[in-house]
Structure 1
Amino acid sequence: MRHLRELLIDAWSWLDYKQAMAHPARPGHHAFPELNTSWVPSEDLRRLAAYKFLAAYDSNQAGQLASITGDDHHGVERRELGDPSKLIDTTLAYVLGSEQTIVVPGAEHADDSDDPSLEAKAAAELQDRLRSWADKELLPLRMQQAERCAVRCGDSVYTLAWEPSQRRALLRTYDPGFYFPEWDEGEQDSVEYPSRVHFAWELPADPVRGLKDRVRRITYELAPIGPATEPGQTSDRRAIREQVSGADGDPVLIVGDTMDAVTGTVTRTYPWAPGKPSATTCYLTDAEWLLEDLGSAHDVFSLPADKAAYRVRSDGQVLDRLDLMVDFIPVVHVPNSIPEVGEHWGKSTLASVLQLLDELAATDTDSASASSTTGTPIVALAGARLPIDRSTGQPLPVRVEAGSVWQLNDNGRMDTLDTSAQLAELRQRVDHLLDRLAANTRLTAAGLGSLDPAKLPNGYSLQIALGPLDSLVGGMRLARDHKYQLLLRMVQRLHQAGQEWPAGESLPARIAFGAHTPTDRTTVLNDVVQGFEAGVFSLETAVRMLQEAGYPIANIAEEIERIQKRAFDQAARLADATGDNSVVREYLGLPEVDSVQKVPLVGPPAAQPAGPGLDHTSAL
Structure 2
Amino acid sequence: MGLFASAKAVVIDAWSWLNYKPLYSDQLGMPNRRAFPEAHATWVPAADERRLAAYKMLKAYDGNQVAELTAFRDGDEARERREFGDPSMFVDTITSHVLGEEQTITVPGAEKAGDGGGPDAETAEKVQTLLREWADEELLPMRLLQVERKAVSLGDGVYLLHWDGDKQRVRLKTFDPGFYFPIIDEDSDGSDFPDRIHFAWELPEDKARRLPARLRRITYHLDWIRPQTANGVDRTSRPVRATVMSDPTDDQPAQPILGRGDTLDPNGSITRLYPWSEQPSYKTCYLTDAIWELGDLKAPIDIDSLPMDKAHFATNSQGEILDQLDLYQDFVPVIHVPNTVPEPGEHWGQSSLAKVLQVFDELSGSDTDSSRASATTGSPILAISGKAVNGQTQYTAGPGMVFTLGEGGAITSVETSGNLAELRNHVHDLKDRAATTARLPAVALGTSDPAQFTSGYQLELALGPLDSLISGMRLARDHADRLLPKMVQRLFQAGQHPDWAGLPVLPAKLMRGAYTPTDKAAVLAEVKDAREAGLISLETAIRRLQEIGWPIEDAEEEIKRIDARSFEDARNLADALGNPKEVASFLGRKAPDEPEAPAVVLPPAGLNPGQEDLEEAHPNGSGEGGGNT
Q: Please give the TM-score of this superposition, normalised by the length of structure 2.
A: 0.89
User: Are 2:302 and 1:299 aligned?
Assistant: yes
User: How far, CA to CA, are the matches of 2:118 and 2:188 in structure 1?
Assistant: 42
1:503 CA displacement: 4.6
**In structure 2, do the counterparts of structure 1 residues 129 and 585 end up closer, same or farther at CA, with 3 Å as the change threshold?**
closer
Give the counterpart letter for 1:253 in structure 2. L
Gap runs ≥5 in structure 1: 389-393, 600-620
Counterpart in the other structure of 2:465: 468
Instruction: Choose which of 264, 269, 273 in structure 2 pairs with 1:259.
Output: 264
Partner of 1:608: none
Written as runs of structure 1 = structure 2, the 5 A alignment for 1:489-500 is 489-500=486-497
Q: Which deviations, in whole Å up to 9, do the C-alpha atoms of 1:1-51 show, x marking residues without a partner?
A: 532532211000000111232148869744122322211111110000000
Counterpart of 2:345 in 1: which secondary structure?
coil
Is the CA contact 1:444–1:469 (under 8 Å) kept in the aligned structure 2? yes
Q: Equivalent residue for 1:128?
A: 129
- C-alpha change, 1:295 and 1:134, in structure 2 (3 Å) is same
With over 3 angstroms needed to count, the CA separation of the structure-2 counterparts of 1:246 and 1:439, relative to structure 1, is same
- Residue 263 of structure 1: how far off its partner (Å): 2.5
Query: Matched residues in 2 for 1:265 and 1:195: separation?
Result: 19
Q: Which residue of 2 aligns with 1:436?
A: 433
Report if aligned partners of 2:435, 2:442 keep a CA contact under 8 Å in 1: yes
**1:162-181 residue pairs with structure 2 within 5 A?**
162-181=163-182
- Kept after mapping to 1: 8 A contact 2:164/2:170: yes
- CA shift for structure 1 position 506: 1.9
Q: Count residues with an aligned counterpart.
A: 587
Task: Tell me, yes or no, if the aligned pair for 2:24 and 2:30 is still in contact at 8 Å.
Answer: no
> In the TM superposition, what are the counterparts of 1:25-104 in structure 2 within 5 Å?
29-70=33-74, 74-104=77-107
Matches of residues 268-417 of structure 1 in structure 2 within 5 Å? 268-274=272-278, 276-383=279-386, 395=392, 397-417=394-414
CA-CA distance at 1:292 after TM superposition:
0.7
Residue 391 of structure 1 is matched in structure 2 by none
Partners of 2:184 and 2:190 within 8 A in 1: no
Secondary structure of residue in 2 paired with 1:19: coil
Q: By how many angstroms is 1:73 displaced?
A: 6.2
Quick one: distance in 2 between partners of 1:538 and 1:34? 57
* Partners of 1:332 and 1:483 within 8 A in 2: yes
* Residues 272 and 504 in structure 1, CA contact (< 8 A), matched pair in contact too: no
C-alpha deviation, 1:576, in angstroms: 7.4
Deviations 1:251-274 (CA, angstroms, capped at 9, x unpaired): 1111211113x5221111111113
| 1:616 matched residue in structure 2 | none
CA distance in 2, matches of 1:57, 1:108: 45
Provide closer, same or farther for how the CA distance between residues 153 and 27 of structure 1 changes in structure 2, counting only shifts above 3 A: closer
Q: How far did residue 462 of structure 1 move?
A: 1.1
1:29/1:69 contact within 8 Å kept: no
> Structure 1 residue 455: deviation in Å?
2.6
Deviations 1:204-251 (A, max 9, x none): 111111111111011111111111110012243311001111012111
Provide Cα deviations, 1:273-304, integer angstroms capped at 9, x if missing partner: 13x11111111100011111111112111000
8 A contact 2:23–2:32 mirrored in 1: no
What corresponds to 1:9 in structure 2?
12
- Name the SS for the 2:14 alignment partner: coil
Q: Which amino acid aligns with 2:20?
A: Y
Aligned position for 1:481: 478
Match of 2:507 in 1: 508
Percent identity between the aligned chains?
50
Q: Compared with structure 1, are the counterparts of its residues 581 and 438 closer, same or farther at alpha carbon in structure 2 (3 Å cutoff)?
A: same
Cα distance change of structure 1 residues 187 and 133 upon mapping to structure 2, 3 Å threshold = same
Amino acid at match of 2:46: S
Q: Which residue number in structure 1 is paired with residue 604 of structure 2? A: none
- Do 1:272 and 1:503's aligned partners in 2 also have CA atoms closer than 8 Å? no
Shift of 1:397: 4.0
Bigger drift between 322-331 and 555-564 goes to 555-564
3-state SS of the aligned residue for 1:202? strand
Alpha carbons of 1:585 and 1:366: their partners in 2 closer, same or farther (altered >3 Å)?
same
Partner Cα distance (2:532, 2:161) in 1: 50
Kept after mapping to 2: 8 A contact 1:25/1:36: no
* Deviation of the 1:565 alpha carbon: 2.6
Shift of 1:438: 0.9
One-letter amino acid matched to 2:49: L
TM-superposed CA distance for 1:504, in Å, is 5.6
Moved more, 524-533 or 32-41: 524-533
Q: How far apart, in 1, do the equivalents of 2:403 and 2:39 lie?
A: 62
Letter in 2 for 1:200: A
Residue of structure 1 equivalent to 2:456: 459
Contact kept, 8 Å, 1:25 with 1:45, in 2: the verdict is no
Displacement of 1:464: 0.4
- CA distance 1:212–1:177, shift in 2 (3 Å): same
Instruction: Measure how far apart 1:85 and its partner are.
Output: 0.4
Deviations 1:74-93 (A, max 9, x none): 32111100001001100000
Return the alpha-carbon distance in structure 2 between the equivalents of residues 231 and 597 of structure 1: 74
Amino acid at match of 1:516: Y
State whether residues 19 and 25 of structure 2, in contact with CA within 8 Å, keep that contact through their aligned partners in structure 1.
Answer: yes
Return the alpha-carbon distance in structure 2 between the equivalents of residues 133 and 510 of structure 1. Answer: 14
Alignment correspondent of 2:203: 203
Distance, in Å, in 2 between the alignment partners of 1:582 and 1:303 is 71
Query: Which amino acid is 1:256 matched to?
Result: G
The verdict on how the C-alpha distance between 1:159 and 1:292 changes in structure 2, with shifts beyond 3 A counting, is same
> 1:503, 1:576 → 2: CA distance?
42
Structural RMSD (CA): 2.3
Letter of the 2:139 partner, please give it. Answer: L
